Every structure is written in structure tokens, then in C-alpha cells.
Amino acid sequence: MFTSALKFTGKIFLESVDEVFFGNTKDKKTNSQLDQLNDGFGNIIADNDMTWQEAETAQSLGEMYDTYY
């Protein structure tokens, strides 16, 4: 019983360390586009003003393209 608890605790610890140091880089890369278009108040300036949630939805559907101003 002690060894199974130790294995479980070790697995949780290793997954936590993996997430902290090697987290999902794809999410960070896709959100960098939204970070660049952020107006500082939580809105995204693109074709029209939209909230962060709307911009993430548009980006996931492929409707958000790189826009430069």
C-alpha cells in the first residue's frame, strides 16, 4: 500500500514539474498573436474590437489572421 501511494505521489509530482518547465508551447505561440493585438484593457483590436474570448474563438476557427497596423 505504501509503494502504491509513493508511485501515485511521484507521478503527480513529475507531471507537475513537466507542466511547469515544459508546458504546452503551442498555446503560448497561438496566444502571442492575441497578445500583440491586445489594447491593454482586455480587448483585441483586429478587424473590429472584440473581447479576448471572441478573439480566441475566432482564432480557433481560423478566422483570425495576422494583422499589422
| pLDDT (tens digit per residue) in 45-60 | 877 778 888 888 888 8
Nearest CA-CA partner of 42 in 27, 52, 33, 34: 52
Q: Which one, of 37, 60, 65, 36, lies nearest residue 50 by Cα? A: 37
Instruction: Tell which wins on pLDDT, 15 or 24.
Output: 15
The pTM assigned to this predicted structure is 0.46
C-alpha to C-alpha distance for 69 and 4, rounded to whole angstroms:
57
Confidence of residue 1 (pLDDT cuts 50, 70, 90): confident
Give the mean model confidence (pLDDT) for residues 24-40.
Answer: 68
CA 56 vs CA 22, 37, 43, 59: distances in Å: 23, 12, 11, 5
